[in-house]
């Protein structure tokens, strides 16, 4: 499947934010990276789109009415983390440790 078709399917399943030209929009560079990570994991066949959509839907439901449009890609990250753990690509404690190290590096200006 070509990348444009894959991305179009993902946008349709996930209701990703789009502009007037129906192109995906990102407010910050990390959002584009989160999007790319989800696409890459799918292309590597770690999960199917319906699995992704179900996980993202679960995260959105958990967030409830407190969720704003600005939180959308934070929910992508939570969904990606949950799938990575569910699929055995990374253990939860490994993921938490990596996140702590990244946060410490950011705080130290690295």
Distance between CA 27 and CA 86 in Å, rounded? 29
pTM of the model: 0.73
Phi, psi of 91 (to 5 degrees): -80, 155
Supply the pLDDT for residue 107: 83
Buried (b) or exposed (e) across 59-93, using 16+ Cβ within 10 A? bbeeeeeeeeeeebbbbbbbbbbbbbeeeeeeeee
Question: What pLDDT is stored for residue 6 in this prediction?
Answer: 60
What is the number of structural domains in the chain?
A: 1
For residue 66, give the CATH number of its domain.
1.10.472
The predicted structure's pLDDT at residue 108:
82
Say if residue 106 is exposed, middle or buried (CB neighbours under 10 Å; 0-12, 13-18, 19+).
exposed
What's residue 86's pLDDT? Answer: 95
What is the pLDDT tens value at each position of the chain, 110 positions in all? 566 666 566 556 556 676 777 777 788 888 889 888 998 999 999 999 899 889 998 988 888 877 666 688 889 899 999 999 999 999 999 999 988 998 888 888 75
Residues contacting residue 11 through CB under 8 Å, at least 6 positions apart: 18, 24
Spatial separation of the C-alpha atoms in residues 12 and 10, rounded to whole Å: 5
Residue 41 has a pLDDT of 92
pLDDT of residue 64: 82
- The pLDDT value recorded for residue 28 is 87
Q: What pLDDT is attached to residue 68?
A: 64
- Residue-range definition of the domain harbouring residue 17: 3-107
């Amino acid at each position: 499947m070509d990348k444009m078709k894959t991305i179009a399917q993902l946008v349709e399943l996930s209701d990703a934010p789009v502009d007037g030209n129906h192109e995906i929009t990102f407010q910050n560079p990390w959002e584009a990276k989160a999007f790319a990570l989800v696409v890459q994991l799918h292309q590597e066949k770690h999960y199917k789109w319906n699995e992704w959509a179900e996980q993202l839907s679960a995260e959105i439901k958990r967030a409830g009415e407190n969720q704003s449009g600005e939180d959308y890609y934070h929910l992508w990250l939570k969904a990606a983390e949950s799938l990575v753990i569910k699929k055995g690509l990374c253990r939860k404690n490994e993921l938490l440790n990596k996140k702590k190290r990244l946060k410490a590096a950011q705080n130290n200006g690295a």
